[in-house]
Amino acid sequence: MKIAVLGAGAIGAYVGAALHRGGAEVHLIARGDHLRAMRADGVRVLSARGDFVARPHATDDPAEIGPVDYVFLGLKAHSYPSCGPLIKPLLADHTAVVAGQNGIPWWYFHQLAGPYEGRRVEAVDPDGATSAVLPPERAIGCVVYPATVVESPGVIRHLEGTRFSLGEPGGQVSERCTALSQALIAGGLKAPVEPNLRDDIWIKLMGNVVFNPLSALTRATMAEICRHTQTRRLVVQLMEETLHIAARVGSTPDISIEKRLRGAEGVGHHKTSMLQDLEAGKPLELDAIVTAVVELADITGAEAPTLRAVHAATDLLAQCSTQGGTARNGATTGAVPA
């Protein structure tokens, strides 16, 4: 089995190292100091489950790799429409694309029986730009539960979780999903093949759609948001609205809001990926995590007033953090501290 990880950052390098440890042929695609460190010393994973080092091939040139059986996308979802030149050398007719993204995937309505089957979600597939690069027929859905960070170039700190839920958009338990699941398990990970992966998407999204924007707006950790009386109430409202939207597109996640809250609070003083991106001056992964959910509310006629308000505020924050804000004296000032 030949696997390329396109975007071998915190999650990509972690899953690549695990797959390599399990015996798969793995190629990591990265750049900069992180790439140089992985080339020199491999990927060093630090984890309470046991530290290990893996030495898969690492490069910044996909043409060195050629066609593979699976491409695992470790990129942010907003990078998908522009990743064509990087992914094209990796594709054969049979190549599957596994998107380890947060939020609503571009393939969401592909093979989803019902009134919305085949509909495009513009927030994640603007004018079909993502589907043109990543045809939905290639997609294997993946919900990523582990939390990891790049502690230093080539060094991945595994914080919690080992589950990578997999599933076909059409719900079948396919040979390609089963084979990938077995490779992930061989590497020490959990990889159930779910006949209804969209329910898993919404379970994770219940947290992402709430804590990512709220943390960016308040600069607070997940525990701080949960323990503050008023924001805890806001979290409940947002989760209720999210579950209502999920139900309108046919998903009924089997988890209570209280259980989801306890899980988030248990993570502790963890900064969400959106807050980390904001502090680093990077674009916010807003479209897949929040904008797409608002779009599904529009499609299905859900009101979702709290979600819409939080989205409006975070969208403005994203624009200001990218373009710079305007100070009262008329001067332009960066919205993100250096």
Biggest CA-to-CA distance, the chain:
62
The angle at the Cα of 100, spanning 98 to 36, to the nearest 5 degrees, equals 95
Chain position carrying tokens 């798969």: 24
CB 105 within 8 A of CB 80: no
With CA atoms as reference, report the closest residue to 169 among 201, 204, 133, 139: 139
Q: Amino acid identity, residue 271?
A: K
With CA atoms as reference, report the closest residue to 69 among 100, 99, 90: 90
First to last CA, the chain: 43
CB 81 within 8 A of CB 75: no
8-state DSSP, 102 = S
The angle at the Cα of 150, spanning 145 to 152, to the nearest 5 degrees, equals 160
> What pairs with residue 169 in β-bridges?
none
Inter-CA distances, 99 with 39, 222, 238, 270, Å: 24, 25, 25, 24
With CA atoms as reference, report the closest residue to 298 among 311, 314, 315: 311
Inter-CA distances, 103 with 17, 85, 100, 136, 206, Å: 24, 24, 10, 16, 9
204 included as an active-site residue: yes
* Candidate list 88, 204, 259, 271, residue with the active-site label: 204
Tokens representing residue 229 in the block: 């009386």
Sign of the four-CA dihedral 320, 326, 328, 333: positive
Distance CA 104, CA 81 (A): 15
Known catalytic residues are: 204
